Amino acid sequence: MAGKGNDSPAIGIDLGTTYSCVAVWKHNRIEIIPNDQGNRTTPSAVAFVDAERLIGDGAKNQAPMNPANTVFDAKRLIGRRFSDSNVQEDMKLWPFKVIQGPDDTPKIVVTYKGQEKEFLAEEISSMVLGKMKETAEAYLGEVVKNAVITVPTYFNDLQRQATKDAGTIAGLNVIRMINEPTAAAIAYGLDNKSDIAGKINVLIFDLGGGTFDVSVMTIEEGGIFEVKAVAGDTHLGELCKSVNPDEAVAYGAAVLASKLSVRNTPIPTSRSKQYYTAYDNQTAVDIRVYQGERSKSTDNHLLGTLSISGIPPAPKGVSGVMVCFEIDANGILTVTAGNISTGKVEKLTITNANGRLSKEEIEKKVKEAERYKYEDQEFKKKADAYNALEDCLYKAKNKIKNCKVRSEILKEMEKAIAETTKWLTDNQAAPFAELQLKMVHLEFVCKPLF
């Protein structure tokens, strides 16, 4: 999960629905990193107020006074469609506004700095991840780039990719995504190394603030973990119908489903299958990739469609393609297709996986995240300068009462204090440079007081 990489230490982030946590491997043990409030967990909430953006405890603390602009539960939205029945039910409980964006993508609407802003769930999650990154950097005293992020076992391919995108927007290189119960089992194994002899079976019961996972695993001596079965749900109802992407089902044109991977197949894994043309002289084929266990394709979750062209014209069933589905350790699906007739192999990506962010969109969101971070830093710098000037005035007013200097110098100091006090009252939104200038002037005139 963590340790020293080539450039920086890697951290582990538990991105939760209600709370998040960050840890690092240091001094030959795992250390949970406290945030700037001294808490080991941080609320997964982001608030937008008139002049700044609050993340974590600050967002949670002001939520009762600013509910419409305090966003939480982003994990329930990430990688989902606006029309998803779960999203529609959750919207009834949220105080913030969610609208339908392009490609049925849910967008969160808030008022920030007097303007209406729209954010994707990936952006909100990236802000929470960014907070975790900053927490780790403050603790370690160095820049953090690499991270392992936990996800619920039942997260589908879109939800996993969207979580990875959120990490990218936050400035993190997501080196691995790990299922939450698996992470819990690893922690159990590390804490009980001496108690494990031979092979033991473990039931991991992971009940969080917004998700519920159960996994059955085996742990062997030497720290060998094997996941045997998983199940979970976001709303504590019946077992979740969706399953991991290793159960992807491929469909050719007008061809019924054929399961490539059975339930609970360990990942990473890959499966291949040949598909042939459905009619004479067919030169192209669409392959629809579904996730689920239902026999009827429409009852499963469509992950995306890829199109293959350049198939030599031939009678039905002669020409075809070999399709390979690969699931990596993060549970993310990649499809590779080869033209059987020509022997030419091409690596293809799912072209219409609506709900995912394109490379260009991710780059745009990264720049926006950097801008928001810069604005936050500028606001803090200005707030610190304002508070410093206010504190300087307070000290000057107290000390001038007992200051024994010539009357003309005393009058100059009193005048400077009065003018600066009035200016500060009238210019609460003054820029950093002006605040600094006023501070320098006040300290110069009132030098006998400091």
Nearest Cα neighbor of 308 from 342, 284, 340, 288 is 284
Count CB-CB contacts under 10 A for residue 85.
Answer: 9
Told to judge if 206 belongs to the known catalytic residues of this protein, a careful annotator would answer yes
97 in Cβ contact with 86 (< 8 Å):
no
Strands 345-348 and 333-339: antiparallel
- What values do phi and psi take at 104, rounded to 5? 65, 25
Nearest Cα neighbor of 128 from 222, 45, 233 is 45
- What values do phi and psi take at 99, rounded to 5? -120, 165
Rounded distance between C-alpha atoms, residue 440 and residue 318, angstroms: 84
> And the tokens for 440?
């320098």
H-assigned helices in 170-306: 180-191
290 in Cβ contact with 225 (< 8 Å):
no
Out of 57, 73, 75, 165, which one is annotated catalytic? 75
Three-state DSSP state, 295: coil
Work out the angle between the directed axes of helices 432-445 and 407-426 (0-180°, nearest 10): 160
Told to judge if 14 belongs to the known catalytic residues of this protein, a careful annotator would answer yes
Told to judge if 118 belongs to the known catalytic residues of this protein, a careful annotator would answer no
Out of 57, 134, 165, 180, which one is annotated catalytic? 180
Out of 14, 123, 157, 246, which one is annotated catalytic? 14
Nearest Cα neighbor of 252 from 337, 314, 136, 355 is 337
| Sign of the CA dihedral with 59 first, then 62, 64, and 69 last | negative
Out of 122, 206, 213, 247, which one is annotated catalytic? 206
Told to judge if 75 belongs to the known catalytic residues of this protein, a careful annotator would answer yes
Q: 3-state DSSP: the chain helix, strand, coil percent, rounded to 5?
A: 35, 30, 35
Tell me the residue type at 383. Answer: A
- Which active-site residues does the annotation give? 14, 75, 180, 206
